[in-house]
Structure 1
Amino acid sequence: MHPLSLDSSNLRVFQRCRKWAVSCRTTTIAELKDEGDVEVTRSRLLNYDLLMRWDFPFLASLQHSLSAVSSSRFSSSLVEPVSPLFFFFLARTRFNREEFCKDFVLGTRCVLHLLCRLRIAMETVSDEPVDVCASALSAIVSHGSPPAELISALASHKDGFATGWLVVHFIKHMEAGEPLRSLDLSEFSLDAGKLRLLLSSVPVGPDFLETLKGGLHVCTGPCLLALKRFLQRATSSSPPSSLKNLNLSKCDLSDSAGGTLLHSLPPSLEYLELNENRLRSLTMEALRSAFSEGTLSKLLGLDVSNNPLGPSGVATLARGLSASERVLPLQSLKLSNTAAKAEGVKALSAPLKEGKAPSLQVLDLGGNDMRAEGVGGLAGAVGPGTLSSLRVLILKENRLAKKSGGEWEFSDLIALLSNLIQFSALQELDVSENNLLGTSDDESPAPMIGQALEGGRLWALRTLNLLNTGICQEDLTAVCTALAGGTAASLQVLKLCRVDVPPGQILASAFDSNHLSQLRDLTFEDDAGWLSEGLGVVTRCLANGKAPSLIRLKIGVIHSTDPNTHVDEILGGLAEGLREKKFSSLEDLDLEFWPDSEHDFAPTEPLCEFGRALGEGGLSSLRRLSLFWFEQLSAGVGALAEGLGSGGLVSLEELCLQVSCGGGEENGCRELGEVLSTGKVPSLQKLLLECNVNSSLQRFAEGLGLGCLSPEVGVNLILHTAYADSTYEASAAVKAVAALIRDGKVAGLRKIAFEDGDQSSDPSDQSGIVGGAAQDLGEALAHVGDWGGSQKGIEELKIDCQVFNSDCPMGLSGLFSGIASGRGSLPSLHTISIPNLLPINVSAVRPLAECITKGKFPRLRNMQFSSSEAISFGQEGMRALSVALCSPHAKSLRSLTLRSEERSDNVEARTAEAAQMAALSTAFSFGQLIGLKELSFRGELFPESVSALCVGLGSGKLRSLRSLELPRVPVGDDEGTSALCQALSAEKMPELRSLKLGSVNDAGLKKMITEWGQITPPPLEKLDLSDASVGDEGLAALASLAGAGRLPFLWELPLPKRNGDAISSNTRAMLQAFSLLA
């Protein structure tokens, strides 16, 4: 019997609850009278008594609300148990705000007791877990403190808002529990009114809120104003606010919004995080003002990484630092990936040289293309009291050794390192992803690092990253020689490339001497075309236990079959260390052996030795194992299965296997499947399997079929058909996978990707999947079986159409037909990616459309159904797709990529193409795609087709669109361009930020500029002309429009690549004057 049944037992429970409530009422009123806090008026008593007269059905429904959600913590179906109470008071109260709060407190104190008693009563008749809302209320009533994470989660969603707000309200007005120190609004999804109500109840004085985290919804639209008002209240509060940490990262904060918001920063702020937004000069101007006015005089950390600041934005920030009247306590400054360039870095160097931030410990300038000129500016800022406290310096991806003209220049980098090395505070140095090879005559900075290490001037160094620097053997030898000297004994993270024999031997001696015993993270990766033949001896030293603190080890090397000794030694050394339990602290092991050619296979015996050693108890702490190799048969996989099945990897949570095996009769893959499916790795949570679609995959599926992977194991399958021996073999393997899915053996499947089809130009050589196997897979995905339903967890489907047999037109169609015919759906699928449709595959558009229309993909957000060559969906196909996009099931789409065009140029083809575009326009105009944010249409259309398409684009029903790509749609002086210009307006597309026009010429761009002079253009931030054919004439018109203030947000303008030389220096200067070129 359900615990809510109206039996005598439940009736007695509710009767006892009512008695408890009456008792609470009497006690509460007596307390209030004695304290004299509230004058209990007749009207308030009446409201109170009405609450006490709740009848049994109301109480039953209240308990039902509690019980209905008790089995899920944050379910979207959560029924808010106190919302009837909240709206009851809201409807009946006619007092002002202060009186309302008093009346609310009077009534809810009793009802909170009642809810807690109801919770207790519910526990007596049900074994279900306690609901989170009741838990939060219970904590308040019992003078406890609900966790800040729980309050934030409740207040962020409709189902829990009233409870979250109520708890915050009681903390503020009744001082119940501990003060709320942290509020996370990153998942807040309600309207601005509720945000204002919530924030108005959050106390901002001393000893209250210290950390506030924003989110996508909070930092846009009307909610942004509510957040601004809260910050203004915190700024002007008396006593002062205690807000120390403001995190607005990953909030899609626009430059104008950032500029508005950051004028209201409280002076108590110590850490400001703004990374991964769209901030530029306006926001930096707000920060400049805050620094110059002393508002940020307590700031310790500033992160503006991954924002398109450009040189001017970084320079504006630098002026703010310089304008500060006092020395700043700034300790961390992060500006990675801000397009600072050399000019921005040189501007930033000025306040640093002035000593405005003498306590700076972390400086991240990675990914800014600063070149040698920027490095020179930074080098001049290093001196006593200026950057002398620097502990972390990140300069990766900056082309440090090349000038803007392309010449090699090492002197500035050598000067920078030389100046820094004078001070012993440096703990992390990252110059990865910078080519430091130079020519034979160039002086490299690598010996400078070695000399500093050898001289003991970098004794504090904890992290050294030289990956993908291409440094020569002599330079790396110098670094390794210094490490062997024992002057960097504190080193914990070491990342090196190109470890040849001489530096490898010296590095091994450093381990042998116990000079690197503190290492926790060790990475070796080959540069392209390089064989790190010195790693074998290094691995042997590791196997002797010379790195007892090692937590993460990654080795990625290129190998050839002859010679192959370094791979033998690497695997053999690891196996020896595993057997002797010398890697007991290792938590993450990543091995990648890349073949130098398709005929280079990893050595079998060392692979087997390593695989078996994995299970000998030496890796009890290992949480992640990632392996990549090519082998001729499957003996290595079989040994791996033996190691995994031995029970020694008791902590393994993530297994990534990218293994290419030949077919043959060996059963290694079958044994691996059996081990994984029979619970031999009970701690496993994630499985990535990347393999060939051949007999090895079929055997792996057979092994998995012997047991069943836990539904808790998330599985990603990436399958390659390029090495299948025949169509029969590939199709049989896919059918085996389909059988697994149909039987529920991989219930945790998250992704299926078919990649790297056979690129052979000879159709007779292709051995792809036939339609029957593809249909089996589709039917399996939508199969509703006895094991509990269809494949509910799959999230991503990616298909390279070349995996299908070229003689079989039903390959892709079969897949979607199978899904459409099944009784189940794919409720978690959010991405369908088919980027390279072939003409033979376009018939799949109709079964795909059928799937959408039938609601098979209720949460589909991203759909790519395109091609690199000209294809046509045909009128029937496009009509079917249009119907699907008009269905309610298309509302979830956020990104759509399509291509369809007619290849012939005649009246019939033009008419057919225009009809297709008219059908697509109907979908755009219908209103179901109102949430679409990204649209890419890649067809090359006739002018009349462009006009038909623009009817939909200009319908005003794509108001959420942020990115529009038309790489092949011709834009010239014709009727189609006129229609496109009318569609591209702020009225029709108020959110459009990025526009790509790949087939526009000067006439077309001038026509667009003329139209934008008469109507308000969309708020473009990026206009991509990189594939266009425009020159001085069109770009000059664009610069004039920008100069007139008609494109106030435009900052990124990729210029044409094909005729870039045809653009004059005067035009470039004009564009740069309006900040359109970096």
Structure 2
Amino acid sequence: MYASVYLSVRLFVFPSDRVAQVVSEWDANFVKEMELDIVVEVLLAANFLHIESLLDLCCLKLACMTREKRPKELKKLFKLEEVPSETGASFGPETDDTHTTASTTTLGICSREKALGIFLHKLDLSKQMSALVSSEDSFGLAWLGLYLIRKQERLGPNAFCLDSPVRSIDVSGLHKICDTEELFEFLPLLPASVEEMKLGEHSGVGVEGCMESLGRRLESLDQLKKLSLEVYGWNDESAKQIFSSLPASLEQLELRGNHDIGSDGWKSLDERLKGLKLLKKLNLAHCHVTDEGAKEIFSSLPALLEELEIQNNMHIGMDGWRSLGERLKSLDRLKTLDLSCCDLNDESAIQIFPSFPAALEKLDLYDNMHIGMDGWRSLGERLKSLDLLKTLDLSCCNLTNESAGHLFPSLSVTLEELHLYDNWEIGFQGWASLCRRLENLDQLKKLNLERCNLTNESAGHLFPLLPASLEELDFSYGLNHIDSFLVTNLRRQQPNLTIIQSEI
């Protein structure tokens, strides 16, 4: 009745703006004083009659009522059922009879949830979910939205008008703003529509029992494509629970920094990798993978893999590197390979370098200072066939004249970035070798010679041969000793070149 009268009155053209303003203020004050049951009835009626202004007022009222409320308080306020299990069983049986309007809804749980659905739809919850989850003020609202989404998944797509699916959610800071009980209730609410999910150091899933809960939910997320699990404090048991539950839809798996997982945990990842046929990116950086674990994982790398990051895994031995070398021969789609800070030596390099896939576009070997002449000779031979390589990082590799002589003549003509930072043992002969190759590197855009002990003699030969394509040259810090007139001439020759050098 109130909504109908509201509609007829508001359609009247007031003779004065002041009268319209008074009416508007009266509306706001009236809604402000409403109790929840009345708000629900008015909101449903306003939605049914398409009265947007009244609907907005009711939604504002609900926003005020839910602000800073915890899930337990919201359940009591709106008389919600218990949080569903991973199967959704506590929501009752599925049914097609889910259409509810103001004319058929009776006041109670159904009408409250229907009103909440309209309210959350107005908020465009799907785009704001990660932000809502990360704030104490709005965590309850995020929980409420996920609760209704999960219930809608059970009842049918028209249950609560939540037609904009949640595709991405970041719960990295969850444990900072919710207690263990709330965390246990939150994990089963992760929506089936999610395609990208991030759980960071402070997500709290390392709490005892949470890994099992998360694992059960992961099994049902059959649209999940990208999963980031940078969760410190794992053990083998928790790793097994998660890895065995990874959905087959996964395309990217980020495990960076999980250095407490042992051989048994990595073995469970090996077993699951065989079923992740769509996986394109795997990040194992800073994971302290053991030789035994690496041997198992590398042998099962999916054939569609395009990016593999193994940065800072210094405990892998010969069996692990040999396994990677064998598997690389079949990874013909691999474009990015990061082996930085892996303590490679001649023996391990010889196992890996000849197997680099021809599709490789980015190769990072930063800080592998123990590779000797046999290893660099092996890389030089393979570089001749890497016709798609665009980025090569050989920084902090202790290169010498001899090793530079094996590498620089083989640099791919497709190269766009070459990083040689902190190779201060390269002398004039090594730089002369680079000079001869620079004439063919007509796509090179970035050259990093920082801390390379570049002398006037070397720079005098190098600078005139820098390709016109070059956009950035870095020869900063104290180990470079270059006269200013050489730099001045270079600026004159290439006025668009960005030059990074130490201040004198």
Q: Shared fold by TM > 0.5? A: yes
SS in 2 for 1:233: coil
Map Cα deviations across residues 331-373 of structure 1 (whole Å, 9 max, x no partner): 11111111145513233212223x2x11111111111111111
Map Cα deviations across residues 930-966 of structure 1 (whole Å, 9 max, x no partner): xxxxxxxxxxxxxxxxxxxxxxxxxxxxxxxxxxxxx
Q: 2:327, 2:60 → 1: CA distance?
A: 67
- 1:950-989 correspondence to structure 2 within 5 Å: none
Partner of 1:517: 469
Identical aligned residues as a percent = 22
Q: 2:116, 2:247 → 1: CA distance?
A: 38
Q: 2:60, 2:420 → 1: CA distance?
A: 67
> So what's the TM-score if we normalise by structure 1?
0.37
SS in 2 for 1:264: coil
Tell me how far 1:300 sits from its aligned partner. Answer: 0.5
1:88 corresponds to 2:77: yes
- 1:502-581 correspondence to structure 2 within 5 Å: 502-511=457-466, 515-519=467-471, 521-525=472-476, 530=479, 532-534=480-482, 536-544=484-492, 546=494, 548=496, 550=498, 553-556=499-502
- 1:425-824 correspondence to structure 2 within 5 Å: 425-437=388-400, 444-453=402-411, 458-469=412-423, 470-483=425-438, 485=439, 487-496=440-449, 497-511=452-466, 515-519=467-471, 521-525=472-476, 530=479, 532-534=480-482, 536-544=484-492, 546=494, 548=496, 550=498, 553-556=499-502, 591=503, 593=504
Q: 2:164, 2:212 → 1: CA distance?
A: 29
AA aligned opposite 2:311: S
SS in 1 for 2:418: strand
- Name which of 115, 119, 122 aligns with 1:110: 115
Tell me how far 1:255 sits from its aligned partner. Answer: 4.0
Q: 1:270, 1:261 → 2: CA distance?
A: 16
Partner of 2:18: none
- Name which of 141, 144, 158 aligns with 1:166: 144
Map Cα deviations across residues 196-250 of structure 1 (whole Å, 9 max, x no partner): 543433332xxx211011123333013222211111223xxxxxx1111010125
Going from structure 1 to structure 2, the CA distance change for 1:351 and 1:423 (only over 3 Å counts) comes to same
Q: 2:389, 2:60 → 1: CA distance?
A: 66
SS in 2 for 1:543: helix
Q: Is the 8 A contact 2:299 2:327 kept in 1?
A: yes
- Name which of 332, 337, 350 aligns with 1:376: 350
Going from structure 1 to structure 2, the CA distance change for 1:64 and 1:346 (only over 3 Å counts) comes to closer
> Which sections of structure 2, spanning at least 5 residues, go unmatched?
1-22, 51-58, 99-107, 153-159
Tell me how far 1:265 sits from its aligned partner. Answer: 0.8
Partner of 1:228: 215
Task: Tell which structure's C-alpha radius of gyration is larger.
Answer: 1
- Name which of 274, 281, 301 aligns with 2:263: 281
Map Cα deviations across residues 5-60 of structure 1 (whole Å, 9 max, x no partner): xxx997763325648754434567999xxxxxxxxxxxxxxxxxxxxxxxxxxx99
Partner of 1:183: 169
Q: Is the 8 A contact 1:388 1:420 kept in 2?
A: no
Going from structure 1 to structure 2, the CA distance change for 1:251 and 1:104 (only over 3 Å counts) comes to farther
Going from structure 1 to structure 2, the CA distance change for 1:554 and 1:64 (only over 3 Å counts) comes to same
- Name which of 324, 328, 333 aligns with 1:348: 324
AA aligned opposite 2:481: E
Tell me how far 1:305 sits from its aligned partner. Answer: 0.6
Going from structure 1 to structure 2, the CA distance change for 1:65 and 1:506 (only over 3 Å counts) comes to farther
> Which sections of structure 1, spanning at least 5 residues, go unmatched?
1-7, 32-58, 67-77, 117-136, 235-240, 322-326, 402-408, 438-442, 557-590, 594-1078
Q: 1:180, 1:535 → 2: CA distance?
A: 58
Q: Is the 8 A contact 1:330 1:360 kept in 2?
A: yes
Q: 1:517, 1:202 → 2: CA distance?
A: 48
Partner of 2:247: 266
SS in 1 for 2:244: helix
Q: 1:481, 1:537 → 2: CA distance?
A: 23
Going from structure 1 to structure 2, the CA distance change for 1:151 and 1:104 (only over 3 Å counts) comes to farther
Going from structure 1 to structure 2, the CA distance change for 1:175 and 1:548 (only over 3 Å counts) comes to farther
Going from structure 1 to structure 2, the CA distance change for 1:522 and 1:94 (only over 3 Å counts) comes to closer
Aligned pair count reads 438
Q: 1:267, 1:163 → 2: CA distance?
A: 31
AA aligned opposite 1:523: D
Partner of 2:131: 153
1:396 corresponds to 2:401: no
Going from structure 1 to structure 2, the CA distance change for 1:508 and 1:491 (only over 3 Å counts) comes to same
Q: 2:304, 2:24 → 1: CA distance?
A: 66
Partner of 2:155: none
Going from structure 1 to structure 2, the CA distance change for 1:244 and 1:105 (only over 3 Å counts) comes to farther
Q: 1:92, 1:284 → 2: CA distance?
A: 39
1:299 corresponds to 2:279: yes
Partner of 1:318: 298
User: Of the two structures, which has the highest relative contact order with CA contacts closer than 8 Å and spacing of 6 or more?
Assistant: 2
- Name which of 194, 198, 209 aligns with 1:213: 198
Q: 1:390, 1:25 → 2: CA distance?
A: 58
Q: Is the 8 A contact 2:81 2:91 kept in 1?
A: no
Partner of 2:28: 13
AA aligned opposite 1:151: M
Q: 1:306, 1:285 → 2: CA distance?
A: 17
AA aligned opposite 1:348: L
Q: 2:248, 2:77 → 1: CA distance?
A: 40
Going from structure 1 to structure 2, the CA distance change for 1:81 and 1:244 (only over 3 Å counts) comes to closer
Q: Is the 8 A contact 1:504 1:535 kept in 2?
A: no
Partner of 2:188: 200
SS in 2 for 1:246: strand
Q: Is the 8 A contact 1:181 1:211 kept in 2?
A: yes
Going from structure 1 to structure 2, the CA distance change for 1:180 and 1:65 (only over 3 Å counts) comes to closer
Q: 2:397, 2:92 → 1: CA distance?
A: 66
Tell me how far 1:285 sits from its aligned partner. Answer: 0.5
Q: 1:315, 1:526 → 2: CA distance?
A: 40
1:337 corresponds to 2:312: yes
SS in 2 for 1:534: coil
AA aligned opposite 2:214: L
Q: Is the 8 A contact 2:384 2:410 kept in 1?
A: yes
AA aligned opposite 2:257: E
Q: 1:227, 1:516 → 2: CA distance?
A: 54
Going from structure 1 to structure 2, the CA distance change for 1:258 and 1:91 (only over 3 Å counts) comes to closer
Map Cα deviations across residues 870-907 of structure 1 (whole Å, 9 max, x no partner): xxxxxxxxxxxxxxxxxxxxxxxxxxxxxxxxxxxxxx
Q: Is the 8 A contact 2:399 2:426 kept in 1?
A: yes
Q: Is the 8 A contact 2:418 2:448 kept in 1?
A: yes
Map Cα deviations across residues 355-399 of structure 1 (whole Å, 9 max, x no partner): 2x11111111111111111111113424xxxx1111111112222
AA aligned opposite 2:447: L
SS in 2 for 1:517: coil
Q: Is the 8 A contact 1:505 1:537 kept in 2?
A: no
AA aligned opposite 1:317: I
SS in 2 for 1:213: strand
1:412 corresponds to 2:371: no
Going from structure 1 to structure 2, the CA distance change for 1:508 and 1:307 (only over 3 Å counts) comes to same
Q: 1:297, 1:493 → 2: CA distance?
A: 36
Tell me how far 1:277 sits from its aligned partner. Answer: 1.5
